Amino acid sequence: MVPDRDAQVIGTVLESRYRVLERLGRGGMGDVYLGEDTRLRRRCALKILHAELAEDRTSVERFLREAQMIASLDHPHIVDIYSFGEEPSGLVFFAMELLQGEDLDARLRRRAAHPFTPHDACVWAIEIARAVACVHDSGLIHRDLKVSNVFLARRRDGQEICKLLDFGIARAEDSSELTETGVTLGTPSYMSPEQIRNANLDRRSDIYSFGVVLFKLLTGRVPFTGEPIQVAMQHCEAPPPAPSSVAPAAGISPALDAIVLKAMAKKPGDRFQSMQEVGQALTELLQREAPALAPVTAARPPHDAQPSVSQPVPIAPGQSDAERAALASTPAPALDAATPGQGAQTSPPTVAAPPQPRRSRLLLPLAGAGLLAAAAVAFALNRGDAPQPRPQIVASPPTPPTTPITSPEPPAPIHTAAPAEPQPELEPPPQPEAASSDEALPPLDPEVTPAPAVEKKKSIKPAAPLDPLKQVERKAQKCRKAHGALDGPKIVVDYAVGLDGKVTRSVPSVHDALGKCLAEAVLSTPFEPKLALGRKVSL
């Protein structure tokens, strides 16, 4: 069946724009193909609904609803949708960004011999939590959170970030479809008790599934195993084991156990009440426990850090894939200062590390009279602070820095480790002060993480043109004049508009030369940069 399907699909151009090149994989609802956007000359991924499902209108609507839901979200940790539609030939598809990398489930299987450290697991989990929080803030529930629906996307600079995928069974939180009788959708190993029982669902069901994802990140396995019916019963009745009891050698703290078990509470009211709460709890945990977790990360065998990832900042030989991905969303100097591998070096290289002069400039007023004393205090502060900035998973807005206050305690070892060379590095304060203050700030409250997405919207979405329909009417008049049909019957053009204001679909009700001209008139007109489906205009 699949080869026949490939022969039918490969080479096809969808919406006169997306050329299908080759099949990449097969999913539950559709096949994923490598595609090319012939207008923008870029590669993309094309998800095409299975032929047998394309004959079922309910499946078609569910598939297109998934595309519409993802397209309505704008977040760095959610896959981007470019366009979607239904061809006259019966092909139903959507075009999305082409991701390089592997899903989190594949990474966990590949690293079975060397599981993630608690720090690594929390880094990934915070990124996932922020993506799910964006979904919830949009009034949706994902309903199928699992490690195979999280993709570790490798960017052009070699860094990795989490991307949330597959919204095929997502629903609006107030939708009646969330409680359809006799319908249970999801993956049993990750489903909440209320989802298994077909009870009323809200965002706290996703929080339970997130707890299972975090459990697997920490231990390499799900909390309950067995036949699907047995797993479902355990989710409803059995208390989950503490992650530390499943992986006693992983260094999982009681506080981290408590976060997982609270997320997986049987009663929704006993769980975290929002993904922002979960992200905040994990961030605060890293702030408290980074010093304890750092030696575990540093002890990682060097080959765990070998996958080809080009780093723009110095990293420790023992740094894991997750720590490198964290660099994609963390100020480089902050992580660099907290890297355990560098702390193991001799003190002069630590003083000469790139981030240190910036942090030292903040402390010059405390130095006393001489430059040598200033260098000594800066060195002591950097040594004392080194583990704390590690939890800074994302860039943070300006807030009063409080961490340096406790640092001046160890003055004794100062003078032995401060060579004369660092003095010139401390002298030039003319370097940008704003950058140094940003790098020394505490982590961002997870509730405000979508801020970069807002800036992205402003930069990529053009201002809405004036009266696009009037432009279409003027072009339509030219078409009718050119075809000698000024007084002919009206032709209806069915069209859709993408998030960038470009028309993604333009189909006339009459497929003659005039109809094609009118469809092209609509297609070439810019509209308000807002997603709109099923629009019609009579021309």
Length reported for the chain:
539
Binding annotation for ATP: 47
Name the residue among 125, 266, 128, 263 with its Cα closest to residue 193: 266
Q: Are 132 and 206 in contact (CB under 8 A)?
A: yes
Q: Which of 74, 120, 144, 321 is catalytic?
A: 144
Q: What are phi and psi of 78, to 5 degrees?
A: -130, 135
**Surface-to-core class of residue 351, CB atoms within 10 Å of its CB (0-12 exposed, 13-18 middle, 19+ buried):** buried
Q: Where are the beta strands (DSSP E) in 313-467?
A: none
List Cα–Cα distances, 111 to 116, 256, 290, 377, 394, in angstroms.
8, 21, 22, 42, 25
DSSP 117-182: PHHHHHHHHHHHHHHHHHHHHTTEE-----GGGEEEEE-TTS-EEEEE---TT-EETT-GGGG-TT
Name the residue among 66, 57, 46 with its Cα closest to residue 168: 66
Structure tokens of 405? Answer: 């206050």
**Where do we find the tokens 């061809």?**
87
Nearby residues of 260 by Cβ (< 8 Å), 6 or more positions away: 211, 214, 215, 218, 240, 242, 243
Number of H helices, E strands in the chain: 23, 14
Residue 304 annotated among the catalytic residues of the structure: no
Distance in angstroms (rounded) separating the CA atoms of residues 132 and 400? 29
Structure tokens of 224? Answer: 């309950």
The DSSP symbol for 502 reads -
Binding annotation: 47
Give ∠ CA 190-84-475 in degrees, rounded to 5: 160
**Where do we find the tokens 């506080």?**
255
Q: What are phi and psi of 504, to 5 degrees?
A: -100, -15
Q: Which residues are catalytic?
A: 144
